[in-house]
Homo-oligomer: A and B are copies of this chain.
Amino acid sequence: MFNFEILKRSAHSRARLGRLTTPHGTVETPAFIFCATKAAIKGATPQDMRREKTQIILSNTYHLMLQPGSEVVAHMGGLHKFMGWDGPMLTDSGGFQIFSLGHGSVAEEIKGRRSSSRPKSLLKINEEGATFKSYLDGSYHTLTPEKSIQVQRGLGADLIVVLDECTPFHVDKSYTEKSMHLSHRWAERSLKEFQKGPEDIQALYGITQGGVYPDLRKISADFVNSHPFFGHAVGGSLGESKAQMEEVVEMAMEPLDPSRPVHLLGIGGVSDIFYGIEQGIDTFDCVHPTRLARHGGALMMPVNAEGKEHINLRNARFQKDSRPIDESCACQTCQTLSRGYLHHLLKAKELLAMQALTIHNVHFMNKLLTSIRQALSTDTLAEERKKWLGEPH
């Protein structure tokens, strides 16, 4: 039922064209995975997602285990049936939110934005698992590797992920190393729990750890390579800057088994995606395209003069602009609505603004990845990169 086939390898980098097969269909890779955090894409119906060429979406185990609960989703026939999405799906382990919600500080740190202490909603981490307070009602919950797999079994996504500890970037090497070994032990417990369940219904991803330390990255790669995971995700701290992120992705990818699909967690900028693909990443996810839409941002290609990958339609200069967001875009929004109208909707706080911009940004990401796959098939990724980003910076 599950398969990952590499159709073509780049002559210039670790980039590859692939095909990931799941019980709910295939995903042509590299691919972007959209975030349906609480089992819903904010602002788009499943039909909107399909029409704009979406291949795969994800939901967050942390949110769904608290509301409505995996037993409710299971009772309703699993995530696919529950949300009316019959294509491939991924769920994460729930760990990232436990370590990042509360003050949102660790999420920022992992992406290198600022340093902060542990959020207060995380109460305890020990060998067994992590204890945290619900963001909904303050109730106490413990997530263990076994529990995460059980919850993800109940949710029923095609691709599921082991629980790991997400370390902030400012911790030292000693903490990173201890944390890595804890995550490895959790990964083995996850795998054991996973192997109790039915085969070929879901596939399990392991996560490489090791923070910003090359020797730890190598140890962690050896660990996941030697365990029967279907795929790998690049986890752990990616450093405190874009440059360090690129360095860390490279040191994480170099020793990884190249036959398995690799997911890069939480990365969705255009230049980051090109970089990741050159490092051999097959799938990406990020809330950025849909969140940006809800704040008035429309993804644009090529980037404008200021180096931004979007325009903000709240800007007064768009008030009487009768052009679509992008003349060359085939999305439903660009086919019917103008920048001036979208500007009006944003000013008037109309729901439709979020819907229309979400549709555009979803289409944009799918078009970006389609173009990249096309370029990989003709070995012209560098040229494609220039089209989307201009000359390398």
Contact = CB atoms under 8 A, between A and B. Distances in A.
Given A45-B332, A348-B40, A341 B67 contact: no
Contacts of A340: 68, 72, 76, 82
B320 A356 contact: no
A351 B72 contact: no
Interface in A59-89: 63, 67-68, 72, 75-77, 82-84
B341 A82 contact: yes
A208 interface: no
B76 A341 contact: yes
A43 interface: yes
Contact of A45 (B40, B68, B347, B352): B352
Nearest to A338: B76
Given A347-B68, A354-B351, A322 B42 contact: no
This chain: copies in complex: 2
Nearest to A352: B40
Contacts of A68: 319, 340, 343-344, 347-348
A69 to B, nearest CB: 10
A221 interface: no
B344 A45 contact: no
A345 interface: yes
Contacts of A348: 38, 40, 63, 67-68
B72 A319 contact: yes
Interface string A327-350: 000001000111011011101101
Given A40-B352, A83-B341, A355-B355, 15 more contacts: A38-B348, A39-B341, A40-B345, A45-B359, A67-B347, A68-B348, A75-B322, A76-B338, A76-B340, A76-B341, A77-B322, A82-B338, A82-B340, A84-B336, A351-B351
